[in-house]
Amino acid sequence: MTRRKHWAWFLLFTGPLLIIFLTVVIVPFIVGSFYSFFQWDGISANPKVFTGFENYIKLLDDPRFMESAWATVKFTIFSVISVNVVGLTFALFVTSKLKISNTARTMFFMPYLIGGLILGYIWQFVFSDVFKLIGEMTGLDSIFFNWLLDQDFALYALVFVFTWQMAGYVMIIYITGLQGIPNDIIEASRIDGASTWQQLRKITFPLLMPAFTISLFLTLSQAFKIYDVNLSLTNGGPANATELFAMNIFNEIFGYGNYGYGQAKAIVFFIIVAVLALTQVYITKKREVEM
């Protein structure tokens, strides 16, 4: 009787979540995988032509997809490094004994509360007008110019805005990790004569590995999936130099009407993100230490 009651409670709380997960994640994924084997424009009245793995083979000879993949990889590498370095720096700053730490914590987190679309339009104005004005006033026009019109600098502009948006969020994760480190360990290291850098390298960073695992996973997955900032800031330009994975898939399906081919891109995109994210979690989890 007790066992049956336990199962009833289990189904009551997990059943609705399982149904929602199956409906919005598993079923669409299976249906999308099925359509990736067809040539179809997404209109139900038009026929679906089975092509097998032709859509996947076609990806290898698609220069626009390859350029998009390379741009996404570069964007993700730069973003993961910059977001975590800035976020950790913010966390170390606001957990110090400065009087403005609470105010600074609020200010650093605020950009995350602004939606990606709005943030992109705000920074589009900054890069196109404010940067140009600063360059004209200071003569530093080799640095302060419209980054969004340059094929190389436009990607760095995306990295800059993504870092601006996400650094405050990962700062919260690092603050939680820093506050979980016992003060007596830090005090003992100071008594033993350890410098600030030695404390960080030998004590803080190893004990902060759980926070590194979570922060790296979030920034890695978010950087690969970014679409809203990409759309509002550069819209893939100039000359498709900043068309990242998500935008490339969206344009393929809804812009060019290649539903089956776009689904094949989405499946490949999912596999790449899943493999990289799980590999990162496996590597950083192995480096975590227990107190």
HEC sequence for 185-222: HHHHHHHCCCCHHHHHHHHHHHHCHHHHHHHHHHHHHH
Output the six-digit token pair for 81.
């490094």
For residue 48, what is the DSSP state?
A: P
pLDDT above 70: percentage of residues in the chain: 99
Read off the pLDDT of each residue in 232-251 and give the average, rounded to a whole number.
92
How many whole angstroms separate alpha carbon 256 and alpha carbon 266? 15
Read off the pLDDT of each residue in 66-79 and give the average, rounded to a whole number.
94
How many whole angstroms separate alpha carbon 278 and alpha carbon 273? 8
How many whole angstroms separate alpha carbon 17 and alpha carbon 13? 7
Peptide bond before residue 210 is cis, with ω within 30 degrees of 0: no
Residue 151 has pLDDT above 90, yes or no: no
Output the six-digit token pair for 39.
């040539």
Which residue in 68, 163, 171, 162 sits closest to 116, CA to CA? 162
139 φψ region: left (φ > 0), alpha (ψ -120 to 50), beta (else): left
Read off the pLDDT of each residue in 29-49 and give the average, rounded to a whole number.
90
Output the six-digit token pair for 131.
């940067």
Split at pLDDT 50, 70, 90, the class of 89 is: very high
Residue 184 has pLDDT above 90, yes or no: no
Confidence at residue 167, expressed as pLDDT on a 0 to 100 scale: 95
Q: How many helices (H) and strands (E) does the chain have?
A: 15, 2
Q: Are 134 and 244 in contact (CB under 8 A)?
A: no
Split at pLDDT 50, 70, 90, the class of 290 is: low
How many whole angstroms separate alpha carbon 195 and alpha carbon 191? 10
Split at pLDDT 50, 70, 90, the class of 53 is: very high
How many whole angstroms separate alpha carbon 208 and alpha carbon 203? 8
Confidence at residue 253, expressed as pLDDT on a 0 to 100 scale: 92
Residue 11 has pLDDT above 90, yes or no: no
Confidence at residue 38, expressed as pLDDT on a 0 to 100 scale: 93
Confidence at residue 291, expressed as pLDDT on a 0 to 100 scale: 65
Read off the pLDDT of each residue in 187-215 and give the average, rounded to a whole number.
88
Confidence at residue 132, expressed as pLDDT on a 0 to 100 scale: 87
Confidence at residue 1, expressed as pLDDT on a 0 to 100 scale: 60
Confidence at residue 196, expressed as pLDDT on a 0 to 100 scale: 85
List pLDDT tens digits, range 102-148. Answer: 899 899 999 999 888 899 999 999 999 999 899 889 888 888 999 99
CA-based Rg of the chain, rounded to a whole angstrom? 24
Read off the pLDDT of each residue in 213-227 and give the average, rounded to a whole number.
93
Confidence at residue 286, expressed as pLDDT on a 0 to 100 scale: 85
**Mean pLDDT for the chain?**
90
CA angle 248-249-252, nearest 5°?
Answer: 85
